[in-house]
Structure 1
Amino acid sequence: MEHDAVAATQHAQDTEAHPPQRRSRGGSRIAVLVSVFGELLITTGLVLGLFVVYSLWWTNVLADRDAAAKGNEVRDRWAGGPGELDTKDGIGFLHVPAMSNGEVLVTKGTDAKELNHGVAGYYTKPVKAAMPWEKKGNFALAAHRDGHGAKFHNIDKIEKGDAVVVETRETWYVYKVYGTLPQTSKYNVDVLDATPKESGRKKPGRYLTLTTCTPVYTSKYRYIVWAELERTEKVDADRTPPEELR
């Protein structure tokens, strides 16, 4: 009995010296908030990652598929023999070896609804582009640099002297690059003029202008490439390309 009494007394003393600790409600709430915030960050990161994948990969897949289908329609129409110009599906194909992007279908218009299909569109506004077969003017084109086919992604690889070829049903139009403008305002429409004086040319001629967004992954400015028609070649029965594309 005496031993039990001593043990009870010792337990009481230990309890007084080290009373039970209650969990802090404030600490618990902070832990919950930190956990929730961490989960939100992870979710946000996943959503942003998926958006990037969609914007820079999946839209390219869809656009390339659409462009290939439309391009096949154009070539099928050409195979049917001579006929009136039809701009609904496209007027031809753009070939720029320096960009290593294969052939690019050229269609009417530069709005997103047209360019999102993986094509290069010729301007109808604010300045109307001249067609390659016209005796003078500026065949001005636009295409996406990132996403939706990204046909002009490597526009910065183009240098003076490089070839740009436009293929139509009956003619190859071979242009030679003579100037580039790595950055200009998106509102600078002078670069599209029939005689693009900003490029250094002062007299009417047969010009071609390529435009796209810059820097990469932004649309803050525009990147410009100017070329001038060097010669034309008649398309033969085998559609043998000019030497610049061989």
Structure 2
Amino acid sequence: MSVRLIVRTFSELCITAGALIILFVVYVLFWTGVKAAGATEGQIDDLQNRWARGAVAAPAPAPVPSASSPASDPQPSAPAPAPEAYRDGKPFAMLYIPRFGKGWEWPVLENTKVKTLQKGLGHYRGSAAAGAKGNFAVAGHRRTYGDPFKDFPKLRPGDAVLLTDGTTWFTYRIDRKPYRTVPSDVGVIDPVPRRSGYDGPGRYLTLTTCDPEWGSSHRLIAWAHLDATQPVTDGRPAAFHS
């Protein structure tokens, strides 16, 4: 085999490899976002249609706000009705984080499977229901599939995290800057999350995502406590503008 043929063959292999790498980068950076946008819009439409049909139970009386502290536990003035069970893989709420921008809104689906997280955020199965005592825990992609938690490190104490199930607005407040840990540290989504600083039962929310930005060797965690609730008929909470 001549040197010229060897060089030409090697060059062609390099060009082919380069083209495959470019296609992969385009898929990761662009196409997964396109797929996520369509899938997310579908989940939002599903939710809005269900809510328009009145397929969600009436809201419980709003808890009386108490002093904002990590262990604060607003208590409803009357017993709340049993919440509708979340359907596996289906959307049941919308999440808003003003810190991430005016247009940041994502559906929350039940479970954290790979296919679920390609459509929106995933609620850890077995964690608390929205607004309930315990820990409402949510996972989302840092990058790819719409980059929902791309700006996760920007979260700061006092930031609002707003959740609605179609009948009630739940306003949570972040209590500390994001905490970095390893994937095996599952205690971060316990009812009283480990290393959160909370010293007893309450109504908490945990957000989780991958770290570093384009890797998954670690996890970033943000914890929040329930600060206030109000029925959706009262409009959007003031926290949207704070």
Q: TM-score range by the shorter chain?
A: 0.7 to 0.9
- 1:145 pairs with 2:147: no
Contact 1:211 1:224 survives alignment (8 Å): yes
SS in 2 for 1:198: coil
- Cα deviation 1:148-169 (Å, max 9, x = unaligned): 2221111111111111000111
SS in 2 for 1:147: coil
Match of 1:184 among 181, 185, 191: 181
Instruction: Note the C-alpha offset of 1:74.
Output: 0.8
Any runs of at least 4 consecutive aligned residues in structure 1 with deviations exceeding 4 A, and if so which? none
Contact 1:132 1:206 survives alignment (8 Å): no
Q: Within 5 Å, which residues of 2 pair with 1:70-85?
A: 70-81=43-54, 83=56, 85=84
Structure 1 stretches of 5 or more lacking a match? Answer: 1-27
Q: Distance in 1 between matches of 2:85 and 2:43?
A: 13
Q: Name the structure where helix makes up a greater proportion of residues.
A: 1
- Cα deviation 1:94-143 (Å, max 9, x = unaligned): 001112262110010001021112x111111xxx2101232x10000001
Contact 2:56 2:166 survives alignment (8 Å): no
SS in 2 for 1:190: helix
SS in 1 for 2:23: helix
| Alignment correspondent of 2:240 | 245
SS in 2 for 1:179: coil
Contact 2:178 2:221 survives alignment (8 Å): yes
- Cα deviation 1:32-84 (Å, max 9, x = unaligned): 21222122112111111111111221111111111111111111111112545
SS in 1 for 2:5: helix
- Cα deviation 1:147-199 (Å, max 9, x = unaligned): 12221111111111111000111110001100234421111001001001301
Q: Distance in 2 between matches of 1:65 and 1:82?
A: 24
| Alignment correspondent of 1:87 | 86
Q: Distance in 2 between matches of 1:226 and 1:114?
A: 22
Q: Distance in 2 between matches of 1:182 and 1:83?
A: 34
- Which TM-score applies when normalising by structure 2? 0.83
Q: Percent identity?
A: 36
Q: Distance in 2 between matches of 1:57 and 1:129?
A: 33
| Alignment correspondent of 2:199 | 202
Q: Distance in 2 between matches of 1:66 and 1:180?
A: 30
| Alignment correspondent of 1:109 | 111
Q: Which moved more, 1:177-186 or 1:65-74?
A: 177-186
Contact 1:156 1:182 survives alignment (8 Å): no
Q: Within 5 Å, which residues of 2 pair with 1:48-63?
A: 48-63=21-36
Match of 2:154 among 145, 153, 157: 157
Contact 1:196 1:202 survives alignment (8 Å): no
Q: Which moved more, 1:53-62 or 1:204-213?
A: 53-62
Q: Distance in 2 between matches of 1:110 and 1:80?
A: 27
Q: How many residues align?
A: 212
How much is the aligned-residue C-alpha RMSD, in angstroms?
1.6
| Alignment correspondent of 2:97 | 96
Q: Distance in 2 between matches of 1:30 and 1:82?
A: 73
Structure 2 stretches of 5 or more lacking a match? Answer: 58-83
| Alignment correspondent of 2:71 | none
- Higher relative contact order (Cα pairs below 8 Å, separated by 6+ residues): 2
Q: Distance in 1 between matches of 2:28 and 2:18?
A: 15
Q: Distance in 2 between matches of 1:29 and 1:70?
A: 59
